Amino acid sequence: MNAFEYRQGLTEAKYGQMAANLFVEKNQKDTMEGRVIGAVTNGILTAITGTITVYLLSATGRDKAPIKGMGVGLLFWLTLFGLTPKAGVVQKNQKPLTSLLSLADHIIFGTLCGIIASKLGDDSLFPDSKSSGHKRKVPLFSYSQEQDYSQGQEEDFKNPAKVSKQTRQSSIPSKRTPTK
């Protein structure tokens, strides 16, 4: 969409040209090297957007995937067209229409990322697996079985009724009488 908008004179630059500004001078962005680095950078940003969308859906479930994808797209738009120009990393757009059209592009792209990831992603990626019929909660942190086992033992020692006599005796140091 952005290339079409650029050809129609609605925007100042294509996304590849804007991405090239990170690595080359403004007068070099239309050279072959500038276009290649711009395309690679734009591709990387696109892949990161898709990856973050998949991680978000994996952590929160597929429900409302288009809205979640739209949120990721809006976050990237805000970062690329709001924060980076303000920080002086890239030049601020002269035409306000450039930012508005880019907003629409990012909303559409994020929405499509959410839809595609939710439809094509394997069921094991998502906590609301369609095959199980119920939602399971995804823990924020996971721990190993050793930690789980040691926590279980601590709980057992807090409740002596659970602990067998043999376990209690083995955990208490034996009183040895000195041998002569």
Alpha-carbon span 23 to 114, nearest angstrom:
30
For tokens 């394997």, the residue is 122
pLDDT score, position 173: 53
pTM of the model: 0.67
* CB atoms inside a 10 Å sphere around CB 54: 21
Q: Which domain holds residue 119?
A: 2-125
pLDDT score, position 155: 52
> Domain for residue 32, yes or no?
yes
**By the 8 A CB rule, do 54 and 117 touch?**
yes
Mean pLDDT of the residues in the chain = 80
> Domain for residue 105, yes or no?
yes
Alpha-carbon span 93 to 99, nearest angstrom:
7
pLDDT in tens, 55-64: 999 999 899 9
pLDDT score, position 158: 54
> Domain for residue 131, yes or no?
no
> Domain for residue 137, yes or no?
no
Q: If you ran DSSP here, which 8-state letter would residue 81 be given?
A: I
> Domain for residue 172, yes or no?
no
> Domain for residue 148, yes or no?
no
Total domains in the fold of the chain:
1
Q: Where are the alpha helices (DSSP H) in the chain?
A: 2-7, 15-20, 32-60, 65-78, 84-87, 96-120, 145-158, 165-171
Alpha-carbon span 19 to 24, nearest angstrom:
9
> Domain for residue 159, yes or no?
no
> Domain for residue 174, yes or no?
no
Alpha-carbon span 155 to 159, nearest angstrom:
6
Mean pLDDT value of segment 156-165: 52
**By the 8 A CB rule, do 124 and 71 touch?**
no
pLDDT in tens, 86-121: 888 777 888 889 999 999 999 999 999 999 999 998
* CB atoms inside a 10 Å sphere around CB 152: 10
* CB atoms inside a 10 Å sphere around CB 49: 19
Alpha-carbon span 75 to 120, nearest angstrom:
23
pLDDT band at 127; cut points 50, 70, 90: confident
**SS3 state of residue 137:** coil
* CB atoms inside a 10 Å sphere around CB 1: 13
